[in-house]
Amino acid sequence: MKSFELYEPTTVQEAVGILTKFGNRAKVLAGGSDLVAGVMKDWVEGEGMPLPDALVDLTTIPQLRGIRISPQGATIGALTTLTEIIESKDLKERFPLLTQATHSIASPLIRNYATLGGNLNQRPRCWFLRGREFNCYKKGGDSCFSVTGDNRYHAIIGGELCYIVHPSDTATALLALDARAKLAGPAGERTVPFDNYFISPREDVLRENILKPDEILLEVFIPAPSPGTRQAWTKLKNREVYEFAVVSVAVAFTTENDTWKDGRIVLGGVAPVPYRAAVVENQLKGKNIKNSIKQAAGVIRTVARPMSMNAYKVELTQNLLERTILEALA
């Protein structure tokens, strides 16, 4: 591992100050399960992805950790651990989708350390990105090795230039729950809905979200769902623990006499960002769900552009969409 300086600020202002000083040569540290034990340990670097000279430990800032519930919704500090989210009865009652999604991540050991902020902002798992010798677009190189290489786990929707899939299960769930993020930077705080939080490779291939090098994710706010909102989560894994989604589906919607009133369908494991399947939502709007689900789920094929080895994911997505929405209805 490359040597680095470690900073332990106690306030957000102090942390932002250090980040501003270092520019893109500093990274914030939360649980460290990916940044330290993954990226830094394995020397995953390139011109566009320099290894940090400094780490800014956010776990020393108490205000970033904790869950607050109000009639308007829930606020979760970015440094709250995944275990704390799973164990929160309040969250489980209001947002079972988030609880389930969080529970499907990694293993108890990791969840005890890993944080919500870290999970949302972790780097993708693409094995070309993670392989030191592959100098791909994301590292500042000039090719994507997945195009001609083994792309069985890569994107089937929205890939362009780079075909990563977004790795975060909490991101998929939070987007379905219409959550928003609060960030802090040198100019103060700003709030961004998750609809606009993640960015595609076309916008900037070097990063996966709008966070600037000197910005910190402070907390996440999830609005209280309308009464009767149905939620469901499915994550297809190739083994039961320590596994990212092959495909995942998060749904949160309201119904009226078995017809789709309003809601969101978000897919994980299929696109460089958590993918809102608006095409499917539109097909269901105002319709009897049971009668139209088969046809609606099939519409995902119209937006999917599978690569040489991952057409199976299109079929999986269609099947899981149908299964998850019916499960939410049941």
Partner 1 sequence: MLKVDVLRVVQDPEYADSLTEAHWHALAADPAWDELVGEFAELVAPVLARYGTKLGIPPPRPAIPSTPAQENPEEFRVLGKRVPRLHGLGVVTHLGQYTQNIRMPGMLYTRTLRSSVPHARIKRVDTKKAEEVRGVVAVLHRGNLPEEYRGVKLGSGPPERFLFNEEVFEVGAPIAVVAAESEHIADEAIQRIEVEYEVLLPTLDMMEGVRPSTPKQWDNKENGTIVAVTPPLLRGDPAAAQADVTIEAVLTKSTEQHLALELTNSLMYWDQDRLVVYYTTQHAHGCRAGLSQALKIPANRVRVIQTGYMGSGYGYRSGADLAEVHTAILARITGRPVRTTYTREEDFVTRTHRPEFRNEMKLGVNRDGTLSFGEFRVYANVGAQRAGAANGSWFIMQDLYRIPNLKLEAIDVFTNSYKSGPYRCVSHPNGTFAMELMMEKAASAIGMDPVEFRLRNINEEGNPDTKKPFSNPGIRECITACADRIAWKEKWHPPKTKEVRPGVFHGIGFAAHACSHGAGTNPATGQLIINTDGSVQCVSGSTEIGGGQRTQMLMIAAEALGVPLSSVSIAPYVDTDNTTDTGSTSGSRQTNTGGRGMYEAALDARRQILNHAAQKFVEDAQRKNEPFQVSPDQLDLRDGEIIVKAEPGRKLRLEAVMQSVGLPILGRAIYKQDSDWERTAWAAHAAEVEVDTATGSVRVTRYVAAHDVGRAINPFALEQQIEGGIIMALGAVFTEEMLIDQGTGLPLNPNMLDYRPLSIQDVPEQIDIILVERPKAYGVFGAHGIGEPPMAPPAPAVAAAVYNAVGVWMESMPLTREKLLAALKNVR
Q: Binding residues for partner 1, per CB under 8 A?
A: 1-3, 42-43, 107, 125, 127-128, 130-134, 145, 148-150, 152, 236, 238-243, 246, 309-310, 312, 315-316, 319-320, 323
Of the pair 152, 212, the CB lying nearest partner 1 is at 152
8 Å CB contact between 306 and 279: no
Closest approach, Cβ 312 to partner 1, in A, equals 4
Closest approach, Cβ 41 to partner 1, in A, equals 9
Query: In 10 A of CB 29, how many CB atoms?
Result: 22
Instruction: Report the alpha-carbon distance of residue 117 to residue 119 in Å, rounded.
Output: 5
Cβ neighbors of 261 (< 8 A, separation 6 or more) are 253, 254, 255, 286
Of the pair 57, 243, the CB lying nearest partner 1 is at 243
Closest approach, Cβ 195 to partner 1, in A, equals 29
Of the pair 133, 142, the CB lying nearest partner 1 is at 133
Taken in order 131, 132, 136, 139, the sign of the CA dihedral is: positive
Of the pair 131, 186, the CB lying nearest partner 1 is at 131
Closest approach, Cβ 308 to partner 1, in A, equals 11
Looking at the DSSP bridge assignments, the partners of residue 247 are: 236
Of the pair 15, 129, the CB lying nearest partner 1 is at 129
Of the pair 142, 240, the CB lying nearest partner 1 is at 240
Edge-first strand order for the sheet with 26-29 is 5-7, 54-57, 26-29
Of the pair 168, 229, the CB lying nearest partner 1 is at 168
Closest approach, Cβ 133 to partner 1, in A, equals 5
Of the pair 20, 319, the CB lying nearest partner 1 is at 319
8 Å CB contact between 222 and 193: no
Closest approach, Cβ 127 to partner 1, in A, equals 5
Q: What is the DSSP letter of 37?
A: I
The 3-state DSSP class for residue 156 equals coil
Residues in the chain: 330
Looking at the DSSP bridge assignments, the partners of residue 266 are: 250, 276
Closest approach, Cβ 27 to partner 1, in A, equals 18
Cβ neighbors of 79 (< 8 A, separation 6 or more) are 30, 58, 59, 61, 64, 65, 115, 116, 117
Closest approach, Cβ 261 to partner 1, in A, equals 27
Place of tokens 């399947």: 277
β pairing state of 275-276 and 259-268: antiparallel
